[in-house]
């Protein structure tokens, strides 16, 4: 007997463990799908597409039983919106977009600023591009979708206020090459002398990345998406998303190193010190570095 839901789910999980026998899994997924679409009777989404979406959100060490603990109706709507289903987009506009005003009420935004936040939220949540799928695909279903939307709206509103106040990130403040108490004299010298060179090399290396690589770094380090959420957003397994994130970071670091090597006239020992400094600190500071360049 065909088991299309189980097949779609297992394929999306790429062989992850803790999956029950296909017949039992098909029955569970049918129950999950029915419960999810019952929450939005006017929104039509194919069962295999929905359960594949669920599979990409499920942690690799979780069993399929964990699906029934998620906010299934919200996940169904988010998935349908991410795939551009018109009825789902209309439902999001009517039922969830009003959460923006609730989220930012204490900020006392002007009507124009509130409209700006709404528009930015629509753009981020609902609009896909070739390199960045609609952000709603990353909604994990562990809490209500309304809360997820409110959190995103508040973040956007606060960022809008920061920009309006002219609080741009200064390059030096975003860089890890700051002299700290306890630095030995050589390290302090390297940080001070090569700060500008690193800044220029990093900015050039960032522009040299492929669009998807920049988007993956933005989503991971600026927006705080987990590897599971990245995988769900792009419709790939978490292992693939992890490889993409690592490859983007390594490409950025390697190009920064290459450009510094070209520009700096140092002895071998000095160059090794600079490169070790970059390697040891870039993981910790990548979010600040990226924000100063991608904002």
Q: How far apart, in whole angstroms, are the C-alpha atoms of residue 123 and residue 132?
A: 11
- Cα 165 to chain centroid distance, Å, stands at 26
C-beta of residue 52 within 8 angstroms of C-beta of residue 9: yes
HSE-CB at 247 with a 13 A cutoff on CA atoms is: 12
C-beta of residue 47 within 8 angstroms of C-beta of residue 12: no
Average pLDDT, the chain: 80
> What Å distances lie between residue 65 and 14, 54, 167, CA to CA?
17, 12, 47
Roughly how many angstroms between the first and final C-alpha of the chain, as a whole number? 53
Name the band, by pLDDT with cuts 50, 70 and 90, for residue 285. Answer: low
Q: How many CB atoms within 10 Å of residue 37?
A: 20
Q: How far apart, in whole angstroms, are the C-alpha atoms of residue 156 and residue 59?
A: 28
C-beta of residue 294 within 8 angstroms of C-beta of residue 204: no
> What Å distances lie between residue 160 and 114, 146, 152, 229, CA to CA?
10, 21, 12, 25
C-beta of residue 206 within 8 angstroms of C-beta of residue 252: yes
Provide the H-helix boundaries in 58-144.
Answer: 72-82, 86-91, 99-103, 111-126
Residue found under tokens 């979010």:
287
> What Å distances lie between residue 120 and 67, 124, 125, 135, 148, CA to CA?
31, 6, 8, 12, 15
> For residue 177, is pLDDT > 70?
no
pTM above 0.75, yes or no: no
In this predicted model, which residue has the larger pLDDT, 248 or 14? Answer: 248
Residue found under tokens 């309006």:
164
**Spans of all domains in the chain:** 4-164, 171-294
Q: How far apart, in whole angstroms, are the C-alpha atoms of residue 138 and residue 151?
A: 14
> What Å distances lie between residue 94 and 90, 126, 138, CA to CA?
6, 14, 21
In this predicted model, which residue has the larger pLDDT, 59 or 94? Answer: 94
Q: How far apart, in whole angstroms, are the C-alpha atoms of residue 99 and residue 88?
A: 16
Reported as a single tens digit per residue, the pLDDT across 78-104 is 999 999 999 999 999 999 999 999 989
Reported as a single tens digit per residue, the pLDDT across 120-148 is 999 989 988 777 788 898 898 888 999 98
């Amino acid at each position: 007997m065909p088991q299309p839901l189980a097949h779609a789910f297992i394929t999306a999980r790429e062989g992850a463990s803790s999956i029950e026998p296909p017949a039992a899994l098909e029955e569970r997924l049918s129950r999950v799908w029915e419960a999810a679409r019952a929450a939005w009777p006017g929104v039509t989404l194919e069962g295999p597409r929905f359960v594949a979406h669920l599979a990409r959100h499920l942690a690799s060490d979780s069993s399929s039983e964990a699906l029934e603990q998620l906010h299934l109706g919200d996940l169904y709507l988010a998935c349908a919106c991410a795939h551009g289903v018109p009825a789902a987009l209309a439902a999001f506009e009517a039922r969830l977009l009003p959460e923006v005003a609730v989220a930012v009420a204490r900020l006392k935004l002007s009507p124009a600023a509130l409209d700006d936040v709404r528009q930015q939220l629509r753009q981020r949540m609902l609009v896909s591009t070739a390199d960045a799928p609609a952000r709603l695909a990353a909604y994990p279903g562990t809490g209500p979708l309304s809360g997820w939307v409110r959190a995103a709206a508040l973040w956007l509103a606060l960022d809008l206020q920061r920009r309006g106040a002219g609080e741009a990130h200064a390059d030096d403040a975003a860089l890890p090459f700051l002299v700290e108490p306890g630095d030995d004299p050589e390290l302090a010298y390297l940080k001070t002398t090569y700060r500008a060179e690193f800044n220029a090399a990093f900015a050039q290396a960032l522009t040299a990345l492929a669009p998807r690589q920049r988007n993956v770094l933005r989503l991971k380090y600026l927006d705080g998406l987990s590897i599971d959420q990245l995988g769900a957003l792009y419709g790939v397994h978490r292992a693939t998303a992890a490889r993409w994130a690592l490859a983007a970071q390594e490409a950025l670091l390697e190009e920064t190193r290459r450009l510094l090597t070209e520009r700096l006239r140092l002895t071998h020992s000095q160059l090794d010190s600079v490169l070790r400094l970059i390697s040891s600190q870039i993981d910790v500071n990548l979010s600040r570095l990226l924000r100063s360049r991608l904002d």
